[in-house]
Structure 1
Amino acid sequence: MISIDVTSRRQVEMIDVTGQVREAIRRSAVQTGLAVIFTPHTTAAVTINENADPDVVSDLVMELNKIVPFDDHYRHAEGNSAAHLKSSLVGASETVIVAGGFPVLGTWQGIYFCEFDGPRRRQLHIQVVGA
């Protein structure tokens, strides 16, 4: 398993980690298999989406904030219930196919670490398994 640090600067932020995932796969020396990208935080997530147009990420953040508002009379005492809900909606992991030593992604796809309770320093774990 390869772990990387991810530092967010805003409360809600999507950070492109595609390059770090590619490097982790390269370091694993696996040519064909699967890579699991996982965050062990209950107020963060991992997703795959477009990385060509930054407006897509802005729109995703805007709509997630509308769907799950920061203040909605939640009962959780820490005050970060919205972050927990967003994390569950998006999910804590993604699995990508590895072929030729690279993640198989569409032309416009990137892998994002999703921060919902920042700013913070977080961990992202990548496990690459050969076929």
Structure 2
Amino acid sequence: ILAKIKELVEPERKWKHNLIDDNAHAHLGSTILGADRVFPVRDGKLVRGTWQNIFLVELDGPRRERNITVEIIGD
């Protein structure tokens, strides 16, 4: 998955944005992947398929710290 992301966003490419802040690939990756997801929870447990997992991808780092917001909607 990481190899495909790198292939799509081309971190080595001379993006014009890199003249301002050397992270154009991170912005592109975030646009492609999105910044949010909805995960169903039933009876207090995360509902996933047998082979499904959740992972976080750092596109502009490594960073010393990242904040993750979890919002629970419903009963």
Output the TM-score relative to the length of structure 2. 0.87
Q: Which residue of 1 aligns with 2:34?
A: 91
Q: How far does residue 86 in structure 1 lie from its aligned partner after superposition?
A: 0.4
Q: Which residue of 1 aligns with 2:25?
A: 82
From 65, 70, 74, give the equivalent of 1:126.
70
Cα deviation 1:49-100 (Å, max 9, x = unaligned) = xxxxxxxxxxx10111112111222111101000110011001011011101
- Report which structure shows greater RCO (CA 8 Å, sep ≥6): 1
CA distance in 2, matches of 1:116, 1:129: 28
Confirm whether residue 105 of structure 1 aligns to residue 48 of structure 2.
Answer: yes
Query: Which one has the largest radius of gyration?
Result: 2
Structure 1: stretches of 5+ with no match in the other structure: 1-59
Measured on the aligned residues, the alpha-carbon RMSD in Å equals 1.1
Secondary structure (helix, strand or coil) at the match of 1:66 reads helix
From 114, 118, 129, give the equivalent of 2:57.
114
Q: Which residue of 1 aligns with 2:13?
A: 72
Report how many aligned residue pairs link the two structures. 72
Spell out structure 1 runs of 4+ moving beyond 6 A.
none
Secondary structure (helix, strand or coil) at the match of 2:54 reads strand
Structure 2: stretches of 5+ with no match in the other structure: none
Q: Which residue of 2 aligns with 1:18?
A: none
Report the structure, 1 or 2, having the larger strand content.
1
